[in-house]
Structures are given as C-alpha cells and as structure tokens.
Amino acid sequence: MKIRHLSKTYKTKYEVVHALEDVHLYLPQKGMVFIVGVSGSGKTTLMNMLSGVDIPTTGEVILGDKSLYQGAKRELFGYRNSYVGLIFQDYNLIEDLNVYDNIKLPLDFTNQKNYEVVDEVIKKVDIEAIKYSKVNEISSGQMQRVAIARALVKDSQMILADEPTGNLDSKNEKIVMDLLKDISKDRLVVVITHDEDAAIEYSDRIIEIEDGKILNDSHPMIEQVEPTPSFVEPIITLKEQFKLTFGFIRNNTARSLSVALVLLLVPFIGAIMSGYVFFDVAESYHDFQVEYGSDYLSMSEPNGDYLLYYKEEDYLDKMIYYKDSNLINRYDVSIDINPNDYAQTYFYQPEITNILIYNNTFTIQGKVPTTNTEIVVSDYVLASIKYYQGIDAITQLRIDGVMYQVVGVVKTGYEKFLNANFLNDYTRMAFEENLAVYNAVFTTEAGYQYMRNQMTSFEEIASFTIYTGGPIPITKYEEVHVSKERPIDIIRGNTILGSGYGLVSRAFLEEALEIPLYEFQGGSRVIMYCYSRAKYRISVRISGVFESDDYEVMLTDADFNTAVRKQSYSRLLIHRDDVNYDEILQTEHITNQSFVYANEMWDTAKGAKIVLIEFLIVLIIIVIAFSTLTNQMTLATEKKKIGIKYSFGIKKIPIIIPYIIELLLYIVGGFIISTLLVKVAFPLFMRTFIYTTDFDLKAFDFFYIAWSSIIGWDVLIYVLMIASLLGMILTVIRKSPIEIIKDL
C-alpha cells in the first residue's frame, strides 16, 4: 500500500486544523505495524484514510495500480467490504445477533453461504464455547476476539485495529495481542495505539506520528511492486434485510410494541371518528335504496307533523333551482278498485292513492295523455285491478264519478317485489315508498286541474293549523272533522251558518283555540289552513259553539267547496339516479319512511362533528410527537449498528432498509387489523352494547365508514410516520461514513 502526499484539513469556525500534513508511507502486505502517538496527533485520522471511511483533502492511497480515492466511489464500498477489516476499541458488535451470526455477518453481506470458514475462524480465535451466546453475555476479552473473528472471516488483506486492548485487563490484552501477532503472519495488521510498550513487544514496525506528521518510522520501506487487488461490493439480500429487521424488533420489544400499537389504534380510532365526521347521508341512503329497491325520493313542505303541498313560491323556486332534475308532481287521490270488498292483500293495494303529472321520466306503452279526460295508469295498478276484479285490461277508470279514458300504461318495475320478504322492515318500507309511483294514475297539468275540480274526496278528513288575532299560529295541530250536515245543539252563541260564518265544537274552541267557553264572544274570526290532501285556507267567523268532544268545524257546502277548490301546488318526487340527488336529499324535506332513520344517524353525526374534528387534530399531534420521539430514540440506539454497517462497506440506502421494512410491516398489519376492527368489530359492539332499541338499531344501520375515510385517514397517519422516519434516514444519509463512525 502506497500513501502519497496524504493531507487532511478540517475547517472550524475559528481556525484551520491540519490533522495530517503531507504523509508518505509504504506499508507491506503482511506484518504487524504499530502507529503510535498521543491523542490529537493524527493517528486516528490516518486510520480513517487507510480504512476508507474518510476522504483526504489531498493525496492518494494506492494499492497496486488502483487509487483508492481517485477511482469510482463504489470502489470504496468494495474496499471496506472485502479488503480491509476494522477492529474497534469498543468491539462494535450487533446486540441483535448472537456470536456466530455476528461473525458470519460479512459473509451474509456478500451473499456467501459457505459458513465453514466461520467455524475455522471461531476455532482460530478460541471462542467455540460461546459461539451461540448472546454478545451481552460474554466477557470483554471474548467480545474483542469476536470482533477479530468477524474481521478475519471475510479474509481481509489488511486489518486495522483501533486501540484493540484499550478496554481489556492485562490477561485479555496479552491474548488479543498474541492473536493479532499470529494473524499478521499472512496479512497486514495495523494497530493504532498510544501503548508504546505493546508496540515495542509485538511490532514488526513502529510509526510515530505527531501533529499530523510522521515523526519516526522504525523500518521505513521503499516503493515496491505489488499486485492490484480486486474489491467485492457488498450485497444485502432482501432475506438478510428481513432477518436484520426481525432482530431489531426482538431487541427493541417495548419500542416495537408501542409503534405497532400506535399504528393499530390510531388508524382504528381515527377511522371511526372520520366516519362520523365525513358521514354522507346521501351516499348512505342511496346505497340503501339500491340494496332494497327504493327508487324514489318523496319531498313535501313540512309543518309540524304534516306533509304539505308546496306553496306557490316554494314550488316555483324548486322548479327553477333544480332545472336539470326530473321533478315529478305528486297529488293524493282515493280511487277504490276493490268494489266487492274482497279480502285485501298487502302487496296489491285496494285503492289508488296517487296522481302524478306525466313527464319523460317514465316509460310508457301506449300514448301520452293529451286531453283532460285521458289518463295513463301504472302496470301495478293494472295488476291490482286484475287481482280484485279479475280484469286483464281496462280502457276506462271512474274517479269521483267522472269517467276517464286509459290511453297508456307506465312500466314501473314493481315485479321485483313479487316474491319479496315483507317481514324485513326495510324491504317493506322500500315497497311502500315506491307505491308513490306504482300505485298511481298519470295525467297532464291541465288534466289534473280538471280532475281536481270534479273531486269530492277532500271532504273526508282535514288537518288545520289555526291562526287567531294575527300571523302567530297556535302550536297545536289536530285533525278536524269538517261536518257539512248534523243536528245542531248550540250551547253558546247562535246557529248562524253561511257566507263566512261557521260553528265549532266545544273541544275545538277550548283545546285547539284555547278559548274557555265562558269567554267566547260571538263573531270571533279564525283563519284555518288545511294541510291534508291539498293545502287551502278557510276564514271563518265563529257564530256559535255546539257540544262535542271531537274537533269539529261546521260550514255550509258553499264555503267548504270554495275553500277546497283553491289552487294548490303538489308534493314532489325524484328518481334516486337524479343528477341533483345528493343536494336534494341533504337540503330538502324528504318524506320516505326509511329516511327517518337515515336522518337520525345524520343528525347524530352532525352533532358530534366539531368535537370529533378536534379529537382528530389531537390524534395527529400525538402521532407527530410520538413518531418524532420514537425515531430520535431509534437513531440514538441504532447509530452503533449503522456505523458497523458502514465499516463493512455497506451503502447508505441498504443500511436504512430494515427500518423501512419494520414500519411497512406495522403499516400493513395495522391497516388489515384496524380495518377489520372498524368494519366488523365496531358495528358488532355498537349493536350489542350501545344501540338496544329498534329505532336506534335501524338508525345505526345507515351508518357506514367509507373506504375513502379509512384510507384517507390511514394514509395521513402513515405519511406522518414515514415522514418522521425519512427525517431520521436523512440524518443518516447526509453524513459521511466518518461522521457516522465518529458518533460511535
């Protein structure tokens, strides 16, 4: 080995330090050479140059025709891996591995499988009795012999020993020095020490160094011709990386368990919270509709417990706002199709209950109605008529005494419920929700107005909100039977009826209007808004009160019919595939039976949203703090192992692979287990211990944790953990080999 004009300069903030100055040396191929000097003399810097872990400022180290520092960078890795073996004062054994595995590690790093040489070296250094012991169970002298064996096993041509006996007693010091002397018979052993006595006793040559310069050389050499060695670059197989990973996990059990638990519990808890935070009632309810076959959303204007026809301004606003939607106008009707009162079945309804304004939403067989007396019926209505009347087809249908021509049939797809299990509540609700279309006749806007003027069925039951003395309503909503004829038994006031005057029952006066009978003054005006089959207004002056426990209002036929005939706008329907489905479901008043449960779940999620977002932020902060602390601790405990791998010539990226593998194992395992907990264990727990009533269970049926919530949250946590790990890795990668080894 030729060392020519070797210099190393360090620049500090205040001065330039010349650790080595123009060093010239020739080292033999074998023998025992001691480099001695006091601390700070430059002997360790020289060793770093010889070992290839630091780069000189100027000069060269040459083996044969190969310049160590002028060639390709990969030559240094091969040089450290196959040509030079390092023996450190504090042994630098890997605690994750036993004695045998520590010794054969250089072979594993070059993918060699001939371990016979390991047994030979173990025998040579006389540690057969401890070869399967853990390194923390053996003595310091034995540790140093293990370190020597590890340097020998890769057949290094040069061994550099840095203060190899500094931590040993005199007995073990002699054993180690005798062993190194014996080794030097067939290879070069360079010992860096300040022990001049050992140098005198064992050396073939002593080189004294002081202030970065060669002070004395006991046997200086002249330049000789020597063969050019070949270097073998280190290779760490994936199998070996996994082995190192599991060794790291075994020797850091508490840390490993804590990381594994964090990557299990944080995704689990966070995914559940994210599920509530990002709960999308539109997606949940749409999935329900698809699963059970509920095809339509029903909308109306709410008032207390009543589902009203829309007011004119609201109706027009919706038609304009949702102009891209196929909004279907829906009205109530009662058309008996079971005139013989045959036994009723649940599936086939005995009366038609809906009038729809025909639009291009529906597929029709036949023609579209064009006149006021033309209608279209659904295929379900035809099936119900056949069931109750035995008629296969109809051309006419009587509605409130008027005969209408049936000119077409709408295909509804009702057949999917023919063999349905109606004991299942959701199947039953889906079917009943679809009856809004299934059990319907279809007409035009003008046709409905004509039909409406002929109807008498509105005289049955009316529901009123009562306004007295101004626009503030009495917050009591009741069914009011509107009587057109009955014997009158006046108990206060008089019997005036007609032209805006009416009679009310005592119960209606005292309970609905909250006016005691004795305070009643004849002529009190009451404005009543009917919310039943249509929305209409009746303004009445109460002329008298009759005895009755029912809520009743008595009007003349003329007053009643005038009120009923007032214009009203419809309720609305949309198909579940409507372009505005999500917005309509989340903002409009939906009257589907099953939506009560979905809406309850939505209210629960909205109520907890702010608090859960705060918890998620706290979880993120905890993960950041935990990952940062954990990786800092890992770096502190793993610096030694990293330095050892550097000394073997391992490149930077392979060095950090085990830490990446470990984290990926926890991420994959944590994702699988936490997802099972979220998707299986959590719903089971909630159904078993939290939600016990039928209503609560049905509401929880609509709760779901979307894959996007699970994956989105998990990815965020994994990115934070990986980012922290990358921070640790960058701390390693940005350092030079000498900086890492100095950290030891």
Contacts of 546 by beta carbon, 8 Å cutoff, 6+ apart: 488, 489, 490, 491, 503, 504, 505, 506, 552, 554
Give the pLDDT of residue 306.
Answer: 66
pLDDT in tens, 127-176: 999 999 998 899 989 998 998 898 888 888 999 998 888 888 888 889 88
Q: Which two tokens stand for residue 114?
A: 């001939």
Q: Which 8-state DSSP code applies to residue 13?
A: S
395 phi, psi to nearest 5 deg: -115, -15
The CA distance from 730 to 660, in Å, is: 13
Query: Which CA distances in Å does 563 have to 475, 539, 555?
Result: 22, 9, 11
Contacts of 706 by beta carbon, 8 Å cutoff, 6+ apart: 275, 278, 280, 283
- Which domains are seen in the chain, by residue range? 2-234 (3.40.50.300), 241-287+596-742 (no CATH), 295-455+571-592 (no CATH), 457-564 (2.40.70)
Distance from the Cα of residue 707 to its chain's centroid: 7
Query: Which CA distances in Å does 318 have to 86, 313, 389, 393, 578?
Result: 82, 9, 40, 37, 14
The CA distance from 141 to 163, in Å, is: 13
Query: Which CA distances in Å does 65 have to 327, 422, 578, 597?
Result: 88, 91, 80, 84
368, exposed or middle or buried, with CB in 10 Å at 0-12, 13-18, 19+? middle
Find the radius of gyration of the CA atoms of the chain.
46
Weakly modelled stretches of the chain, pLDDT under 70: 71-72, 303-306, 456-487, 528-538, 557, 560-568, 736-738, 740-744
Contacts of 446 by beta carbon, 8 Å cutoff, 6+ apart: 372
Query: Which CA distances in Å does 106 have to 78, 85, 91, 117, 151?
Result: 12, 10, 15, 12, 8
The CA distance from 44 to 89, in Å, is: 12
> Are 148 and 124 contacting, i.e. CB atoms less than 8 angstroms apart?
no
> Are 375 and 406 contacting, i.e. CB atoms less than 8 angstroms apart?
yes
> Which uninterrupted H or E stretch holds 510?
none
Q: Which long-range contacts (CB under 8 A, 24 or more apart) does 698-701 make?
A: 698/425, 698/597, 699/597, 699/598, 699/600, 699/601, 699/604, 700/601, 701/288, 701/426, 701/597
Burial code (b: 16+ CB inside 10 Å, e: under 16) for 214-242 equals beebeeeeeeeebeebebbbbebeeebee
pTM of the model: 0.77
Give the pLDDT of residue 625.
Answer: 95
Query: Which CA distances in Å does 360 have to 293, 410, 443?
Result: 21, 11, 12
- DSSP letters along 132-195, please? TSBGGGS-HHHHHHHHHHHHHHTT-SEEEEESTTTT--HHHHHHHHHHHHHHTTSSEEEEEES-
